[in-house]
Amino acid sequence: MSPLPQTKPATVPGIDLAGSRPLFPGRPGDRLVNGLPIEDFQQKRLIFNQIDKPGQVHIYKTDCAAGARLRVQMFVPVLSRGGSAVPAFSIIAQSLPYSADTQKLPVELPQGYSAIVAASPSQLLQPVEDLLTRARYYPGPIIDTRTLVGGKCYLVVWSPHNQMGKYVIQTGHRWPLRLTYWASIPLFWWQIRGWFGLGRAAAVGALAGVALIGLLVARLLRRDWEIGRLGD
């Protein structure tokens, strides 16, 4: 895909990138039986991946409890050198409240399963900017539904127009509560900016600053220790 137009970032109601744990998986399977397992679709996650072949299908899967909320939103990354895809996606699960556009699926729908398809958007609105990483995304369609019974749930991503390129998809609605997430935020910053091809000099500068302060403190402590020895 050619470089997207450079539009001023906007604040769009309902768009909440904060609190999403980033995932950088390899290529998922292209069938329901060999889909890439995801821990769950409840915790907020951002899946960063790439369609690198025309007609490629990416399938993610997890176990869902009865009544679980399934919220998924597509984002088109704003890349300075282009290379973004605008794919369609679908949620497949047993006995969803409704089923729509199942004929557009790139896989066969198993008996007893329902599917909701979000088509590729024909027009992209103003991009949103993540406050932490300063990466920008065009918000795409949302599927927000609930399962009626427990069982396997699938997220299917594909390009009906055989596009290739990078895409981002957000799953879940719950903020992370584990301390390991908050401790990993610098790593997430580094990973996401690298995936977008954005500069990471700010992090290098910050680390250099911390190292310099550490050296100064160490020298001061050593000087105090040597003065103390002379005094003895």
- Amino acid 182: pLDDT: 83
pLDDT computed for residue 82 by the predictor: 86
What is the pLDDT, as a whole number, of residue 227?
64
From the first residue on, what is the mean pLDDT of each consecutive set of 10 residues in the chain (232 residues)? 42 67 94 93 95 95 94 93 92 88 91 92 86 91 93 95 95 86 88 90 55 58 62 59
Domains and CATH numbers, the chain: 21-177 (2.60.120.380)
- Return the pLDDT at 203: 60
DSSP class per residue in the chain: -PPPP-------TT---TTPEEE---PPBSSGGGPEE-S-SSB-EEEEEEE-STT-EEEEEEEE-TT-EEEEEEEEE--TT--B---EEEEEEET-S--B-GGG-SSPPPTTEEEEEEPPPSS----EE-TTT--EEEEEEEEEEE-SS-EEEEEEEE-TT---EEEEEEE--BPP--HHHHHTHHHHHHHHHHHHT---HHHHHHHHHHHHHHHHHHHHHHHHHHHHHHH-
Q: Which pLDDT value is given to residue 225?
A: 59
